[in-house]
Structure formats: C-alpha cells, structure tokens
C-alpha cells in the first residue's frame, strides 16, 4: 500500500460526509489528520473513529469563512504538527435554492460567500508554510455544478465555478514551487447537503462519500512527475 506516513493533512468540512471519509482514508495511509468544521460533536466522533482504527487525528471547531478562527486553527496545527503537507478544501453548503427571479439576495450571497470565502481564506493561510517548505498538495472539492448549469442552483453553481477558476489560477502561481493544486468535481453524492424533502434524486443512485474520498486519496498519491488538474466524477448513470 502506498503511504502518506509523516505527512499532515488539514481537511475542512471534516466532521461528516466526504471530509470525514477522506480523513479516515488518509489516516489509514499514515497521514496525521487535522479536521476542521463548525460542529464539535461531529468532529469529536470522526476523530475518535480515526484514533480507534490506529490513526492520528486532531480537530478544531471553526467556521472556514471566519478569518480569525481559521488563522488560529492553522497556527495551532502548525504548533502541534510542525507542518501542513496536504490541504483538502471540502467545506461547503447550500442556503439558496430556487429560480433567480424569486431568490432571496441575503441567502444567495451567504451561499456564495460560505463556499468561496472559506476556500480562499483557508488556502491563503496554509499556502505560505507550504511554499516555505517547498512542497504541498491542495485538493479543492468542488461540484459538477461549477462546470454545468443547473436551474435553481445559481448561487451554489457560481461559487463552485469561481472555485474552479481559483484552482486554475492558484495552480499556475505555485506549480513551479513544489505545490500541486487539484480540483475534483463530483456529481450527486449521498451526503447531508441535500437535506430532506421532495425533488431530491434517488440517493441509492448517488456516489458514496467514501468513493469520493478514495478518489481524493488516489489523487494525492499521484507520482511526483505528474499532476491531476481537474477530475469530473459522476454517478454511474450520469447526471441524476
């Protein structure tokens, strides 16, 4: 088994879903995992599962769109582990759903900011130590909605599309400094982001969070002479 032993991975949205599953799989490969999310109980539970399986895990409760909270989380991580080798920007949410003509401006901007601001702030805080050590990997977990149009998801789609361009620009800026930057754009994944109610695609046909985590892990294990820029991952039946 290929290993990530000795590496430190900071994962946002790490309390549940794709983030939690990624933390578990990276820990199985030997990485020390640092989970960041807003809900302490979920973080504690995920970290406990990793430790019970023999892995190393730490956690910090923080909102990724809160610069001071994220700065503290990153500084504490560096204080504990000494370095950050991997960043998985996974945190995201949807507050604005519906047609543009009837959308709530406040909810629309909250959705845009919550997805894009956190991605920017976390990357901005983690990048300097990566550049200083001359190595690092960043995986931005985006969405197929950032590449294809879906009626009723304008705010989320705009945030993810901006995240994709952010990924492309960042990759150009740091590629020659030993830092790889990658984006994964999953289709429908069976996570809590869908909520409950009518209009949700059949969850049985969705991608499992652990499957996305497995693909992220393989992206991070790509040999040093290659780079995966962007990866679109859809359910077996395509767009649901």
157: Cβ contacts below 8 Å, ≥ 6 apart:
143, 145, 146, 149, 150
The 10s digit of each residue's pLDDT in 160-185 is 999 999 999 999 999 999 999 999 99
Query: Tell me, what's the pLDDT at 196?
Result: 58
168: its two tokens: 């492309």
Are residues 23 and 46 in contact, defined by beta-carbon separation less than 8 angstroms?
A: yes
**Of the residues 59, 60, 156, 166, which is catalytic?**
156
In this prediction, what percent of the chain has a pLDDT beyond 70? 97
- What tokens were used for 154? 């304008």
77 CB-contact burial (10 Å; exposed 0-12 / middle 13-18 / buried 19+): buried
**In the predicted structure, residue 197 carries a pLDDT above the cut 60:** no
What φ, ψ does residue 230 adopt, rounded to 5°? Answer: -140, 135
Average pLDDT over residues 98-113: 92
Mean pLDDT, the chain, integer: 93
Domain coordinates in residue numbering, the chain: 8-233
Fold held by 8-233? Rossmann fold (3.40.50)
**Active-site residue 120, yes or no?**
no
């Amino acid at each position: 088994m290929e290993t990530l032993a000795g590496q430190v991975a900071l994962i946002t949205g790490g309390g549940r879903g794709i983030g939690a599953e990624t933390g578990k799989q990276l820990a199985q490969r030997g990485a020390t995992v640092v989970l960041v999310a807003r809900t302490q109980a979920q973080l504690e539970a995920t970290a406990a599962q990793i430790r019970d399986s023999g892995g190393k895990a730490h956690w910090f409760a923080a909102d990724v769109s809160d610069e001071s909270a994220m700065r503290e989380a990153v500084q504490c991580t560096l204080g504990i582990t000494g370095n950050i080798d991997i960043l998985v920007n996974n945190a995201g949410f949807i507050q604005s759903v519906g047609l543009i003509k009837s959308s709530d401006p406040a909810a629309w901007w909250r959705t845009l900011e919550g997805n894009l601001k956190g991605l920017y702030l976390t990357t901005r805080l983690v990048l300097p130590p990566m550049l200083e050590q001359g190595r690092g990997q960043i995986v931005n977990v985006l969405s197929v909605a950032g590449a294809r149009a879906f009626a009723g998801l304008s705010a989320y789609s705009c945030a993810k599309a901006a995240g994709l361009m952010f990924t492309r620009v960042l990759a150009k800026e740091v590629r020659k400094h030993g830092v790889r930057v990658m984006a994964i754009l999953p289709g429908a994944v069976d996570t809590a982001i869908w909520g409950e109610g009518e209009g949700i695609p059949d969850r049985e046909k969705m991608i499992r969070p652990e499957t996305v985590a497995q693909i992220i892990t393989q992206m991070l294990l790509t040999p040093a002479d290659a780079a995966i820029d962007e990866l679109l991952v859809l359910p077996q039946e395509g767009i649901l």
